[in-house]
Structures are given as structure tokens and as C-alpha cells.
Homo-oligomer: A and B are copies of this chain.
């Protein structure tokens, strides 16, 4: 063997990203990555100081891209600020989809696992949020609200008292769904 160092490193990173995105970080062992990349586990640790360093190297480009975006919008304000930030953020997440997915597959695996089959319920919730519509705009907005409420509830940021938080979450969600109050 003994390919060029950068080639092997690239192969390792590629394998790691794919496996992390399927089984999660903790759910993927160094041996798994080594087997997939076609080298020994010891070779991994020759190229990378440790398992965490592999993860760091995988996530750094996304991090840097986010930092760049924030720099770019630092001087803006008002409507331009929000528009540029949203557009940039969306593009960024789409570009680094696999990296984001690896952060979530721990959850996904946990949800699919065991008796409680959450995925079926999640699809039901998605349908209801989309108002039973199958059209793409409604479905995308439904996904957005699904994730938005989920994450916002999980935050411990103390951004607002619970009553305010609840009211604003509902209003914001309905706006995202393009819902005209009846």
C-alpha cells in the first residue's frame, strides 16, 4: 500500500462521513471506518490523532462557512440583514447536508428503534401540519414547523417565559405555514 498521505486521509474522511451519517458518531467504531476505508485501525491513528479529530476535520468546513456568512452580514441591518442571513443559512445547510445529517442520526436511530415506532406518527403529524396537502410548498413548510417547534422547545435559552414562548411559537409556526387566521 502506502499511497500518498493526502489520498488516504481523504478516503478516511469520506468513509467516516458516510458511516457517521448512518450510525452516528458514537455508533461508528474506528474499526468500522478502517474496514470501509480499506486500511487498518492503526493506520487511522497514524493519520489522525484520535477519533474526535476526524469529526473535527469533518465539521470544520461547515463551521468556517457559517463564520464567513456571519462576517458577510455583520455590516447589514433591517430587511437586508434578515434576507441575506436566511438565504445564506439555507444555502449553507443544503451544502453541508451530510454533515448535518451525521449530527442527527443518533436521534433517528433512537426514534426508529424499539417498540415505539415514532416515524409513522411523525408522518401523521407532518400530514396534519400540511393541512393534508401533498403539494411541495405545504410539505416543506410542514417539515420546517416540525423541526422548529421541536428544537425551540428543547432549548434552555430562557429566551422568554413559557406563556410568551408558547404564544410566539404558535404564531410563528402559523406564519411559516402561511396560515391565514380564521
List A residues at the B interface (Cβ < 8 Å): 24-27, 52, 55-56, 59-60, 63, 66-67, 69-70, 73, 77-83, 85-87, 89-91, 93-94, 97, 100-101, 103-104, 106-107, 110-111, 113-116, 118, 121, 124-125, 128-129, 131-132, 136-137, 139-141, 143-157, 159-160, 162, 164-166, 168-182
Contacts and interface: CB of A to CB of B under 8 A. Distances in A.
Contacts of A145: 86, 89, 148
A85 B144 contact: no
Find the residue from A139, A159, A182 having the highest chain B CB count within 10 A: A159
A132 B81 contact: yes
Contacts of A78: 131
A103 B97 contact: no
A80 B80 CA distance: 35
Contacts of A93: 149-150, 152-154
Given A78-B131, A89-B129, A101-B156, A63 B121 contact: yes
Contacts of A116: 56, 59-60, 63
Given A106-B24, A149-B90, A137 B175 contact: no
B85 A129 contact: yes
A106 B144 contact: no
Given A114-B56, A157-B143, A82 B172 contact: no
A90 B111 CA distance: 19
Contacts of A25: 110
A131 B80 CA distance: 9
